[in-house]
């Protein structure tokens, strides 16, 4: 994708009278950091980028707008929010449209066909971060790291993020403007993480998650970063009534993590953000992708693809399988 075209388009959109702000990515202050960015005018969008480090799913910000009651006589700000989306991010936007968390006329969707992101942990391990700002680019079948003006070519499979190895929708499924031609989708690898869970007996699965959930510190980062965890008053965090205690112990941690996974069944679009931000390195993707696979195999449903779909958890067909009911 040409940087010049990206910035020109971003500047045009941010300058529009009917746009409140544009959400995109820009270089962070040091090392490999890339930060989400908000532009209210053309100048604000002048340093926007799209690179293999733009992992953050910006759709989360669509639901973080506080909707306070307006004083009498004051009109609501009906300007649109524009945002840049990769394939997975666009599925989050579509799912939000399905759930009426947002409305189509409120957003401008700028599609970024996505050749795949790097895994930040692998990147830091293999090519330790410098304090100087460093960049990453795509190059045919791989990545190029630019540090102190020096370029290092790296094969794609060496740094490609797990979620991108598994990706089936690298091109935005919904957009108003596309910044480039669609990329050629690749054959996803087998999901070894889910396979590992499926191969365990029930007791083995319990032991596995007991071990993992014991490490949870209940920081709620997984919930806060998730574009589809947007209840203003989260049942897992409220104190009256106190459905799940905030105590950090295996029992409460398990209740929190399992309830969140079930609330996301048929809704999670596998962007991997929850796992990326978890400070305890809990492999949350395995549980989310396992549930996504169950929903796909049993009900033939995939979230975030069709804005006119009925919400999975709120719809019913007479021939739905029910063999899981004891
Ligand atoms: S999951 Fe797909 S769309 Fe999302 S960052 Fe990876 S390759 Fe891009
Ligand atoms: S991000 Fe990780 S540690 Fe924090 S609440 Fe979620 S699972 Fe627990
Ligand atoms: S549960 Fe995790 S992978 Fe699924 S949509 Fe939320 S942040 Fe993305």
Q: pLDDT tens digits, residue range 159-208?
A: 999 999 999 999 999 999 999 999 999 999 999 999 999 999 999 999 99
Which ligand has the shortest distance to the CA of 229? 3
Q: Is the CB of 221 under 6 A from ligand 2?
A: yes
Q: How many domains does the chain have?
A: 2
Residues 12 and 50 reside in one and the same domain: yes
Residue 240, token pair as written in the block: 């009256």
Give one DSSP letter per residue of 96-139, joined into a string. HHHTTSS-GGGEEEEE------B-HHHHHHHS---SS--EEEEE
Is residue 326 in a domain?
no
Residues 58 and 148 reside in one and the same domain: yes
145-170 mean pLDDT: 94
Measuring CA to CA, how many Å separate 158 from each of 77, 118, 154, 161, 250?
46, 9, 7, 9, 35
- Ligand 2 centroid, distance to 9 Cα (angstroms): 37
Domain boundary among 178, 212, 237: 178
Residue from 258, 271, 313 to probe ligand 3 pocket by mutation (most atoms less than 8 Å from CB): 271
Long-range own/partner contacts, residues 34-38 (CB < 8 A, 24 or more apart): 36/61
Residues 133 and 13 reside in one and the same domain: yes
Q: Is the CB of 280 under 6 A from ligand 2?
A: yes
Domain span including residue 92: 3-68+78-178
Q: How far apart are CA 111 and CA 90, in angstroms?
A: 8
- Residue nearest to ligand 3 atom 4, measured at CA: 268
- Residue nearest to ligand 2 atom 1, measured at CA: 278
**3-state DSSP helix/strand/coil percent for the chain, to nearest 5?**
35, 15, 50
Residues 116 and 156 reside in one and the same domain: yes
- Ligand 3 centroid, distance to 272 Cα (angstroms): 6
- Ligand 2 centroid, distance to 234 Cα (angstroms): 15
Q: Is the CB of 93 under 6 A from ligand 3?
A: no
Residues 64 and 37 reside in one and the same domain: yes
Q: How far apart are CA 238 and CA 248, in angstroms?
A: 15
How confident is the model at residue 72, as a pLDDT? Answer: 87
Residues 153 and 202 reside in one and the same domain: no
Q: Is the CB of 222 under 6 A from ligand 2?
A: yes
Which ligand has the shortest distance to the CA of 88? 1
Quick check: helix, strand or coil at residue 6? helix
Residues 200 and 160 reside in one and the same domain: no
How confident is the model at residue 69, as a pLDDT? Answer: 79
Residues 156 and 303 reside in one and the same domain: no
Q: pLDDT tens digits, residue range 210-227?
A: 999 999 999 999 999 999
- pTM score, two decimals? 0.94
Domain boundary among 124, 147, 178: 178
Is residue 141 in a domain?
yes
Residues 212 and 295 reside in one and the same domain: yes
Is residue 325 in a domain?
no
């Amino acid at each position: 994708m040409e940087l010049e075209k990206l910035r020109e388009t971003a500047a045009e959109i941010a300058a529009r009278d009917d746009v409140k702000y544009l959400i995109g990515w820009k270089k962070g202050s040091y090392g490999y950091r890339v930060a989400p960015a908000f532009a209210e005018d053309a100048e604000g969008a002048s340093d926007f980028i799209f690179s293999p480090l733009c992992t953050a799913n910006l759709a989360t910000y669509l639901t973080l707008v506080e909707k306070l009651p307006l004083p009498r006589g004051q009109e609501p700000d009906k300007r649109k929010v524009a945002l840049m989306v990769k394939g997975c991010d666009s599925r989050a936007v579509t799912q939000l449209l399905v759930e009426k968390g947002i409305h189509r006329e409120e957003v401008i969707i700028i599609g970024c066909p996505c050749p795949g992101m790097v895994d930040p942990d692998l990147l830091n391990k293999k090519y330790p971060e410098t304090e100087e700002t460093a960049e990453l680019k795509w190059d045919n079948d791989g990545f190029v790291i630019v540090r102190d003006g020096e370029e290092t070519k790296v094969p794609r499979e060496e740094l490609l993020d797990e979620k991108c190895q598994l990706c089936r929708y690298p091109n935005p499924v919904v957009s108003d403007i596309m910044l480039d031609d669609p990329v050629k989708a690749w054959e996803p690898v087998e999901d070894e993480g889910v396979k590992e869970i499926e191969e365990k007996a029930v007791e083995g699965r319990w032991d596995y998650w007991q071990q993992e959930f014991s490490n949870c510190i209940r920081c709620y980062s997984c919930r806060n970063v998730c574009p589809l965890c947007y209840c203003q008053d989260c049942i897992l965090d409220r104190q009256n009534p106190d459905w799940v205690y905030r105590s950090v112990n295996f029992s409460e941690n398990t209740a929190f993590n399992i309830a969140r996974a079930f609330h996301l069944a048929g809704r999670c679009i596998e962007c991997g953000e929850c796992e990326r931000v978890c400070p305890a390195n809990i492999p949350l993707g395995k549980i989310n992708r396992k549930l996504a696979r169950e929903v796909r195999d049993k009900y033939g449903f995939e979230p975030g693809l069709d804005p006119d779909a009925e919400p999975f958890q709120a719809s019913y067909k007479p021939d739905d399988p029910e063999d899981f009911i004891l």
